[in-house]
Amino acid sequence: DRLKKLMANEARIAKLAELDVDAVVVLPFSREFAAQSPEDFLNACFGGGVPRHIHIGSDFHFGRKAAGNVESLRAWGAARGMEVHGHELLAEGGVPVTATRIRHLLGEGKVREADELLGRAWALSGTVRPGRGEGRDFGFATANLEVAPIMMAIGEGVYACYAVVDGQRYKAAVNVGVPATFADASTANIEVHLLDFNRDIYGDAIEVEFVEWLRPMRVFDSLDELIATVQGNIAWVRENL
């Protein structure tokens, strides 16, 4: 889904801070903002001051109907003492590495391939909320993660992950999607079972790093089959992460 974000703004800013970037400016982006002519778009972006240099990808477009490009940006910048550097996109396997490509991989559950392109594990953050309670009843309690819909780039399925709680990483088996075995379940969740963990974290924010897709969502014929399968998923995570 092109509208899904790979990183929250807060996470982007934190990553940039690790690189010793002096300042980050976040512009509120809306349909009205995007619908401006290329020149008005640039004037709105740089109204507070034009930088001496700007670095962009060679496929960069901006303004109404994506009419602005590297060359028009260069012309605009030259009149204002700004030098524009257009860079060829990094490629992997002969195909450019783009956010769209990574979104498609995540949407198909191909987290290993997505992580290779990102150079890190793709992660999702959210707040732990009370859930339905079946997991605890069956012996594997889960933290139910509330995540903004715009951040849900990952496809349905069961994944091997790491969960970060208060700076500590734990192995985790994670279910993404509607628990299809239960007839009254209709809302997609992210259910996180943290291995060797027994704390009340309701209301806490945790981060989940996706490492490996394990299996698709499915309807089980019995609760015994469901429990055995989940126990097998947990065992795989324990032995392989």
* Catalytic residue annotation: 191
Whole-angstrom distance, CA of residue 15 vs CA of residue 165:
18
Instruction: Please report, for residues 41, 157, 195, 240, the alpha-carbon distance to residue 160 in angstroms, rounded to integers and kept in the order given.
Output: 43, 10, 11, 9
**3-class SS at 70?**
helix
DSSP 144-157: EEE--GGG--SPSE
109, 213 Cβ separation under 8 angstroms? yes
H or E element: which one contains 160?
strand 157-165
Beta-carbon neighbour count of residue 99 at 10 Å? 15
Expressed in angstroms, the distance from the first to the final Cα of the chain is 29
> Measuring CA to CA, which residue among 78, 76, 64 is closest to residue 36?
64
**3-class SS at 12?**
helix
